[in-house]
Amino acid sequence: MKLLIINGPNLNFLGIREKSIYGAEGYETLVERLKQKAKQDGIDLEVYQDNSEGAIIDRIQQAYFEEVDGIIINPGAYAHYSIAIRDALASVDIPKIEVHISNVYKREEFRHTSVITPVCTGEILGLGVQGYFLAMDAMKEYVK
């Protein structure tokens, strides 16, 4: 299985930004752990991060040509307003799981809406970075 994890803006600052919300683990350490799990599970994994909307859209379109089997995406703040990322996700017939580290529904009201969720297969949120690992397991089952 070919799996792509996309992380949006500011997620490269895990371990630096608002640790009480996002945890103390650094981004690079998290990526390493995800890659280790992928290796154990026989998954061909790429973990991609970018802070800009256009680059994320380009990466989603590239996933179509690469025949990726599943996309796990934490769009960061773009979840709440990027119709362009939503359209890119809707364009590709690939299972998608949206992940949020924090429980966005317990936070500011502007985080309660995701324009991305309606075009995703499923969503995992509020379980910390563990959500990425759960999403990998869920995707593995889903694409079987």
Residues that bind ligand DQA (CB under 6 A): 10, 74, 76-77, 79, 100-102, 104, 111
Q: Which residues pair with 5 in a beta bridge?
A: 47, 72
**Least distance (Å) from ligand DQA to the CB of residue 19?**
13
Q: How far is CA 61 from the centre of its chain?
A: 15
Measured from the CB atom, the residue of 75 and 95 that comes closer to ligand DQA is 75
Per DSSP bridges, beta strands 122-125 and 2-7 are unpaired
Shortest spacing between CB 100 and ligand DQA, in angstroms: 4
- The CA distance from 120 to 76, in Å, is 15
Contact 70, 4 (CB under 8 A): yes
Cβ proximity to ligand DQA, 69 vs 98, nearer residue: 98
CB of 133 to ligand DQA, least distance (A): 14
Active site residue ranges = 22, 100
